[in-house]
Structure 1
């Protein structure tokens, strides 16, 4: 009986440890379809450009980078541009069909692990 209780306790301990270790990435992003950043200076240039299968993977790539504040996903090439330092760049955007730009809404980022990803999207019109 004591051995069974010990085994149950060990399993419960492992389960609780896994649940505590399971952290979440969270971000709320505004989406601007058909627009991209038009950078007049170097602070607006992407700090990374990668190829991803889809926009969801582009969003996850942004979540994995602490400095990432925005993405532009080019649907035709599957290029994903990651941006930091994009304060007030909404005014510096140009039309580009086939692109989707997503910007982290200030104060919504929670990033303390790598197991679950939650991205809330709010559509924005320019």
Structure 2
């Protein structure tokens, strides 16, 4: 699934039954926020590139997210049980989120999170040490 916006935000709510097939979402926004609501059964990499704005996750996403690091404005994470990562000869065959935002915020929720549930910035290493 590909979504692209030059002047405006992207909002998508993706539902899926527990035994659904894997999906890949590419969302790109030049001037606007990206807000995604994904199934709780999502299991895979989350790659977020952003230049000006914040990246925020709901509390329930945060509990299941492993962040590997951020290099050149690109954050690489894994949502779900990373110990279950398997790769075939064709590469990763599960779910995947790829988000690119130049001027805007990124907010990711589960599709069944309560309406208005808080989203928080994931603290970086320096934020935890110095309390920023």
TM-score of the pair, normalised by structure 2: 0.28
Indicate the structure (1 or 2) with the bigger Cα radius of gyration.
Answer: 1
Identify the structure with the greater helix proportion: 1
More strand as a share of residues: 2
